[in-house]
Amino acid sequence: MSGLPWTVAIVLAVWLLAGLVLEAVLAWRQWRHLARVEPGREPAATHCRRIRYGQRRALFQWLASAETVLRVAVWLGGGLSLLARAVTPDGWLSGVVFVALFAAVDQLLGQPLRWGRWWAVERAFGTSRLDAAGMARDRLASGGLAVLLATLAAAWALWPFGLMPAAVAWPLCGLLAIAAALAYFWARPNLIAPLFNRFTSLPAGALRQRLAAMMDRSGAHLSDVRIMDGSRRSTLANAYFAGVGRSKRIVLLDTLMEQLPPAEIEAVLAHELGHFRCGHLQRYYGLLFGLILAAVSLLPALLSAAGMEAAPVVMAAALFVLLPALAWPLRPLLSALKRRYEYEADAFAARHAEPAALVSALRRLLAHNLNAPTMDRWYAAFHATHPPGDERLSRLRCYM
């Protein structure tokens, strides 16, 4: 791989460093904002713990952006050239081997931060139930799986190169990668999540009947509501909606079931159904895939024109590390979209369950999950995928 011309490298470096400085300012604002939050009716020690947890998370948010930039520096500053010299990825098979090695090293590069977050945030605040051995097993399993999936995706998406001109091969490669992502969305709840957690059906009884009645009322005929043993790894209580096609399902963590009474579980399920009925996954990933396809179709030609010469698979690896680092100005847009989805799902839940139950569930979950009730305005604009607790609660009270 021939290196980037100095002018392009300098523009890239300025862009990335500007993002890093902005992230530092945002983390500092959030840190300062949290330090000034007045304790409500909760005991001072509980309040302090929530504040320190939020501050520690803001710090790790910044460290995550620093890590993204560091990986760009490692790979584009010589790592990719070194690997390309060792493997010579000029054919399909050597390209796949190159991706497997690249993914394995990239996984290793991500380990210090992941371990740091576990040590200084999850373990320190007691939200992780894993000990070091359990964490090591998890990291090994998820890292190995990521390398395997990256290798399979490369084998599937790289074949157009060599058979057609680059101007056609790149968009086609992007489309194939999107098809692979869709297959992953299908496989995740069916094949992958059961490797890490146990999923069971809701036992027959009053709660199951209540939830089925609410699903009928809301017109969301989703056959599967599963309970996941999230308590094996974490104390955090949550619920999520996942899957595509017939693998669509709502998953409630056992920690959530333990924390909330039936009316509140119904309200949380109604919120998740709101995501399903409003098509949030399709809308969000439709936009994301559109952006990625545009970047994959345009950027390789731009980088070639700027003097970067490399085999397509090396270019693809460079894009893989570059795109998330370059895309920081898009963060507020994507976060705002996610917060809008949360409000839409809340409105749906307020129509089909008791709004008061959703309010009390939310209040309980915010406290249980150590979320501070407010966030700094600018930090929230960039990083809040859910609206700050107090804003969300006050909007929900309009439905009561």
Which residues sit in the known binding site?
271, 275, 342
Residues in the annotated binding site for Zn(2+): 271, 275, 342
Task: Count the residues of the shown chain that bind Zn ion, applying the rule CB under 5 A.
Answer: 2
The catalytically annotated residue of 23, 264, 266, 272 is 272
* Residue 264: exposure state from Cβ atoms within 10 A (0-12, 13-18, ≥19): buried
Q: What residue has token string 């899957």?
A: 243
Of the pair 125, 284, the CB lying nearest Zn ion is at: 284
Long-range CB contacts for residues 181-184, cutoff 8 Å, separation at least 24: 181/285, 181/289, 182/244, 184/149
Is 69:13 a contact under the CB 8 Å cutoff?
A: no
- Residues of this chain, 333-352, that bind Zn ion according to CB under 5 A: 342, 345
346 is catalytic: yes
Residue (75 or 276) nearer to Zn ion, CB: 276
In the complex, least distance from residue 128 CB atom to Zn ion, rounded to whole angstroms: 23
User: Is 216 part of the annotated catalytic residue set?
Assistant: no
Q: Residue 77 CB, nearest distance to Zn ion (Å)?
A: 39
> What minimum distance in Å lies between the beta carbon of 271 and Zn ion?
6
Give φ, ψ of 209 to 5 degrees: -65, -40
For CA atoms 380, 385, 391, 393, give the dihedral sign. negative
Q: 13 is written with which tokens? A: 């470096």
Nearer to Zn ion, 176 or 281 (CB): 281
Residue (342 or 376) nearer to Zn ion, CB: 342
Least Å from the CB of residue 134 to Zn ion:
28
Question: From the CB of 276, what's the least distance to Zn ion, in Å?
Answer: 11
To which residue do tokens 């998820």 refer?
Answer: 142
Closest to Zn ion by CB, 310 vs 345, is 345
Retrieve residue 202's tokens.
Answer: 């809701």
**Residue of 67, 266, 346, 376 with catalytic role:** 346
Strand partners, 226: 201, 251
Residues labelled as active-site residues: 272, 346
Residues that bind Zn ion (CB under 5 A): 342, 345
